[in-house]
Amino acid sequence: MNKTKRKIFDTSMKLFADKGYDATSVEEITAVVGVAKGTLYYHFSSKEEIFNFLVEEGMKLLKNSIAIKIANKTSTLDKLKAIVLIQTKVLVKYNDLITIVLSQVWGNEPRNITCKKCVFEYLNLVEKIIQEGIEKGELKNVDTQMLASGIFGLTFSCSMYQLKTGKEIDIQRTYDEIISALFLGLENQ
């Protein structure tokens, strides 16, 4: 991604997260970036395309990070713990992206459908890992969709803690607390 496209990307993400999609105009994006509308339209055909690119690239980053982190893990529980750690790191590093995705996952507008599609694809990846753990006898027989959604929801809802308290999220503390709360009693013994 070239420098101008990156700046449009970063600026749009910040504005969408702070003000919301509807309250952010193309004019505002171009003003903050410091480019003409034509330059923005050279890189993106519309505000909707910018939004879709943000969400799809962000979720792709999350999925790729997970794939790399779990590649050498053999235990399902270790894979799930790695997922929680990556999700927590993504929450801290890309809080604006998570804010956008979570704020737009409800509804039936095209951008809501895009967010749902990306989140559901990600959840399917986690569900497969859980199912493999059940089949290998490493995990109790649980509702894979519920657990995958729970892992996603518990981790990313920690942004509410940051919003409420104004404190930065401590990755290790957050990870430890989620692991303790989520995985107690999940392992098949």
Q: How far is CA 104 from the centre of its chain?
A: 12
Q: What is the mean pLDDT of residues 51-79?
A: 93
Domain ranges of the chain: 1-45, 51-183
Q: Please, which pLDDT band fits residue 185 given cuts at 50, 70 and 90?
A: low
Give whole-number Cα distances, 16 to 19, 27, 28, in Å. Answer: 5, 13, 11
The CATH classification of domain 1-45, taken from the options 1.10.10.60, 3.30.750.24, 1.20.1260.10, 3.90.226.10:
1.10.10.60
Q: Please give the radius of gyration of the chain, using alpha carbons only, rounded to the nearest integer.
A: 18
Burial class (CB in 10 A: 0-12, 13-18, 19+), 103: middle
DSSP 167: P
Give which of 20, 40, 91, 81 is closest to 61, Cα–Cα.
91
User: What does pTM read for this prediction?
Assistant: 0.88
Residues 51-183: name the CATH superfamily: Tetracycline Repressor, domain 2 (1.10.357.10)
Render pLDDT for 105-161 as a digit per residue (tens, 0 to 9): 999 999 999 999 999 999 999 999 999 999 999 999 999 999 999 999 988 888 778
Indicate whether 1 pLDDT > 90.
no
